[in-house]
Structure 1
Amino acid sequence: MKILLFLAKGFETMEFSVFVDIFGWARNDYGYPIDVETVGFSKTVNSTFNILVIVDKIIDEIDINDYDALAIPGGFEEFGFYDEAYNEEFLSLIRKFDEQNKIIATICVGALPLGKSGILKNRNATTYHLKDGYRQKELQKFGVNVINQPIVIDDNVITSYCPQTAPEVAFTLLAKLTSKEKMNIVKKAMGYSL
């Protein structure tokens, strides 16, 4: 199995790293055969706090048939997150994952490109909830039924409302790709209470 981890310019490092760590533990310590492959619009992607990450592939090289899930960390507007997160090539990739009912997991404002792509129309989702819920209002404009909860699952889509939810989103994705029992083994090994 393989997860495509999309890094838009200005992505938030904490929201990116949970997928690498949790699935790294699952693969390394427990032999769960799930790889994480990073992708961006360029080979080097600058995060919100100026951490440069060299991705495995650029978006033009992606064949969605090679992947079982798509993971999208959020990012900061002032660092250019929406320049790439709202790019039509990425929105098309999101639509293709959804058309094949593949799992899409987002953290915080990583849900907004899903909304813009149209896949969340008339579906339940959430996004960043603080500062008067301005990002949730933005998501609602895409025809989304916004639920103000930490994590919202609607069929194949997992959304969450802030960086604090990042580990739980990755654990939820792990459970969907393996089982709740296998996820709990990794969760316990990493020191998270069950």
Structure 2
Amino acid sequence: MDSKKVLLLLANGFEAYEASVFTDVLGWNRLEGDGSIEVVTCGIHKELKCTWNFTVTPEILLAEVNANMFDALAIPGGFESAGFYADAFSEDFLAAIREFDQAGKIIASICVGALPVGKSGVLTGRQGTTYHLNNGYRQNQLARFGVDLVRKPIVCDRNIITSSSPATALNVAFMLLEKLTSPENCQKVKYLMGFGPKKDADE
């Protein structure tokens, strides 16, 4: 079994829930699934404050990252009022997204985590979505980046996953798990976490 690594890229002002779905789903896989995936938290700063005001210390800084070290990139969204876009729209953040896409790595974003993906240029002419409420303001912003906006909860265009709200977060994490392992392994983890029917999970 090949070991895999996911870079969880956190902007200052990220939503803790949207980050936690990746750490929890992939953490459950590490203990109860095929055990193949390690999650590494990363940010531009040595300390990050999430939207709701607690502080997180990322394991590595973005300056230390090479896309070839990882199999996928995960990007939770955040709030403008908490400073999310100062990091998420920075050139270092956008350059990392471009590097992962050029290397053909999976990029999984939740809610407005799609906006730096769009701004980076990797979704130009491709399908995507982002936060859909507030009169579609964020979706219109994504479209202005040249993205073919699809008004669905989750949109997957080749290697890039985007989604429309925090409500989609768990499904995005499970989709990433399935892409990195297998449908059978993903179903097993879903079942053991209480999110899916038993089916063949114990076989």
**Is this a same-fold pair by TM over 0.5?**
yes
What is the aligned partner in structure 1 of residue 173 from structure 2?
Answer: 170
CA distance in 2, matches of 1:101, 1:119: 11
Query: 1:135-150, aligned counterparts within 5 Å?
Result: 135-150=138-153
What is the aligned partner in structure 1 of residue 72 from structure 2?
Answer: 69
Aligned residue pairs, count: 194
What is the aligned partner in structure 1 of residue 86 from structure 2?
Answer: 83
> Where do 5+ consecutive residues of structure 2 fail to align?
198-203
CA distance in 2, matches of 1:188, 1:149: 25
| Deviation of the 1:30 alpha carbon | 2.6
Secondary structure of the structure 1 residue equivalent to 2:152: coil
Structural RMSD (CA): 0.8
Moved beyond 6 Å, runs of 4+: none
1:37 is the counterpart of 2:34: no
What is the aligned partner in structure 1 of residue 201 from structure 2?
Answer: none
Kept in 1, the 8 Å contact 2:156–2:162? The answer is yes
1:104 is the counterpart of 2:107: yes
What is the aligned partner in structure 1 of residue 124 from structure 2?
Answer: 121
> Where do 5+ consecutive residues of structure 1 fail to align?
none
CA distance in 1, matches of 2:162, 2:82: 22
Query: 1:174-193, aligned counterparts within 5 Å?
Result: 174-193=177-196
Which residue identity does 1:153 align to in structure 2? C
Secondary structure of the structure 2 residue equivalent to 1:50: coil
| Deviation of the 1:28 alpha carbon | 1.1
| Deviation of the 1:74 alpha carbon | 0.1
CA distance in 2, matches of 1:166, 1:25: 16
CA distance in 2, matches of 1:31, 1:156: 22
TM-score, normalised on structure 2?
0.94
Kept in 1, the 8 Å contact 2:67–2:103? The answer is no
| Deviation of the 1:33 alpha carbon | 1.3
Which residue identity does 1:161 align to in structure 2? S
Which residue identity does 1:56 align to in structure 2? E
| Deviation of the 1:146 alpha carbon | 0.6
CA deviation vs aligned residue, 1:169-194 (integer Å, no higher than 9, x gap)? 00000000001111010011111135
CA distance in 1, matches of 2:34, 2:119: 37
CA deviation vs aligned residue, 1:144-163 (integer Å, no higher than 9, x gap)? 01111110000000000000
Secondary structure of the structure 2 residue equivalent to 1:24: helix
Q: Which of 7, 11, 18 is matched with 1:15 structurally?
A: 18
| Deviation of the 1:138 alpha carbon | 0.3
What is the aligned partner in structure 2 of residue 92 from structure 1?
Answer: 95
| Deviation of the 1:54 alpha carbon | 0.9
